[in-house]
Amino acid sequence: MELEVIKKLIDSSRIEHDKFIEKANVAEAYYKGNNDILEKRSPSNEVQSRSDNPLRTADNRITHNWHGLLVNQKASYMFTYPPLFDTGDKELNEFIAEVLGDEYPKECNTLGVNADNCGLAWLHVWIDETNSFQYANVDPKQITPVYSSDLKKRLIAVLRTYKSLDDTGEKCTVYEYWTDKECYRFSSKDGNTSNIVAFNSFEKKNLDTGDIEQTNVYPHNFGEVPFIEFPNNSFKISNLDNIKKLVDVYDKVFSGYVNDIEDIQEVIFVLTNYGGADLDEFLGSLKRYKTVDLQNDGPDDKSGLNPMTIDIPVEARNKLLEITRKAIFVQGQGIDPERQEFGNVSGVALKFVYSLLELKAGMTETEFRLGFGRLVRMIAKHLGKPVKKLTQTWTRNMITNDVETAEIASQSSSDFKVSNRTLLTNHPWVEDVEDELKQLEEDKKKKLEYEQKAFGSYDFKQGNGIDGQEED
């Protein structure tokens, strides 16, 4: 039954999924700096091809990785300090932090990059052979999601498609169909749905005989689909969509600029009615004597030597590059690093500088909160401690006015009686609130011990006078 479901799913979603893969591949190529100009005709001359114009010999194709810069800028802004979670249970918080492990910041960063490029990212969770909770990013191009038809659009199944090797060592396409209960694994050597067969790569122990059997069905026991979706925005659109045409214009104009500079160094001489030696001898004489002997029959004779030159519209191109660069950062909602003069500016001014980036990051955060909420609750469920209330703390990696921040913290502590936990959560120097609270408690104990050692020999209860005699 599941095999027929998979065949229908593959066939019905193939066209749409192929379009998704194509767009994702383009975005990933631009992220790596492999822009379209590398595959297109030389931008040296838009009117004539190089073969028609002897002045056009240069063919430089220079890319500018604006998309990669904007993607990394946002990922660093959001995930240099990855989200922290508070379940209200101190012990559970420590367990969750331990499960997330050292790779948690890296996985968060990968989620951000994948979402920016592909429009959404996917996290796969599983329980390993030691009964430990594991998670990892999955290439979004491998995933075909199946949603419910109601307004909630719940994830009810996931089809993961990827290349692998079968039992004989031959290449094949693997299809994994994940539901809320089980995973069904199939394979095809040629990627044709008519040739899909069961891929018995899972091991199952026969409780009656104790023998290990091979099967293509794996019960995961999560009670939900073990894949978590992280959309880039509500429409699941790649950030390249807003800037691709602008990036292409910048690459084209800049490459043409460079080609003009290279071509202008090559001087072409036009000889009119030249009846002297052959061209090799002419060039040899020109190089040696720096002069050319031309015979002229009179004032009406048009014989002569004229160099062909290239006119470069420097001012117009510079202006176009400037306008295009500005538009890229506006449409891409990022910060142009060459235009910022921070100095000792106020927090309000800094927030204005980050306004577009914050707008973009805020939209992604809204979507990612749901994904991280699912992840934390799945971890807690595995640990046998369900979460009733979850608080997420997101910290941006941005330039701040530390003096202003310190003043706000001081006023909040004295005037508004804000708790130490709240102050530490929002403090720019604190990365781990729980660790900082432990350190404060240790400092308090050490101070108390010091005071006891320093003043323990004095009996403050006796009320001794200055001369050591008891007061009446």
pLDDT tens readout for residues 84-140: 999 999 999 999 999 999 999 999 999 999 999 999 999 999 999 999 999 999 999
Chain segment 439-464, per-residue pLDDT in tens: 888 888 888 887 777 766 555 455 44
Task: Using alpha carbons, select from 230, 206, 205, 202 the residue that is nearest to residue 218.
Answer: 202
CA distance 235 to 367: 10
What phi and psi values does residue 229 have, to the nearest 5 degrees?
-90, 135
Count helices and strands (H / E) in the chain.
Answer: 12, 15
Q: How far apart are CA 99 and CA 127, in angstroms?
A: 12
Instruction: Please tell me the least confidently modeled range out of 47-51, 158-162, 223-227, 306-310.
Output: 47-51
At residue 296 the predicted structure's pLDDT band, cuts being 50, 70 and 90, is low
Q: How confident is the model at residue 423 (pLDDT cuts 50, 70, 90)?
A: confident
For the record, the structure tokens of 83 come out as: 């989200």
Contacts of 196 (CB under 8 A, 6+ apart): 3, 6, 7, 175, 186, 187, 188
Question: Average pLDDT, stretch 376-394?
Answer: 95
| Chain segment 141-189, per-residue pLDDT in tens | 999 999 999 999 999 999 999 999 887 778 999 999 999 999 999 999 8
Neighbours of 448 (CB within 10 A): 10
Can you say how many angstroms the Cα of residue 136 is from the centroid of all Cα atoms in its chain? 15
Q: Looking at mean pLDDT, say which of 56-70, 103-117, 247-261, 339-353 comes out highest.
A: 103-117
- Residue 177, C-beta contacts closer than 8 angstroms, at least 6 positions apart: 2, 5, 6, 9, 157, 158, 159, 183, 184, 185, 186
Give the chain's mean pLDDT.
Answer: 84
Spatial neighbors of 191 by CB under 8 A, at least 6 apart, are: 173
Q: How far apart are CA 247 and CA 254, in angstroms?
A: 11
- Please compute the mean of the pLDDT values over residues 284-302 and round it to a whole number: 63
Residue 355: helix, strand or coil by DSSP? helix
**CA dist 124 to 9, 240, 286, 376, 383, Å?**
20, 25, 72, 13, 18
Residue whose C-alpha is closest to residue 166's, from 199, 134, 192, 144: 199
Instruction: Give the predicted TM-score (pTM) of the model.
Output: 0.79
d(CA 232, CA 122): 11
Q: What is the pLDDT of residue 51?
A: 47
Q: In this structure, is the dihedral angle defined by the CA atoms of residues 379, 383, 384 and 390, taken in order, positive or negative?
A: negative
Contact 303, 296 (CB under 8 A): yes
Torsion of CA 344, 346, 352, 353, to 10 degrees: 10
Query: Contact at 8 Å (CB) between 304 and 293?
Result: no
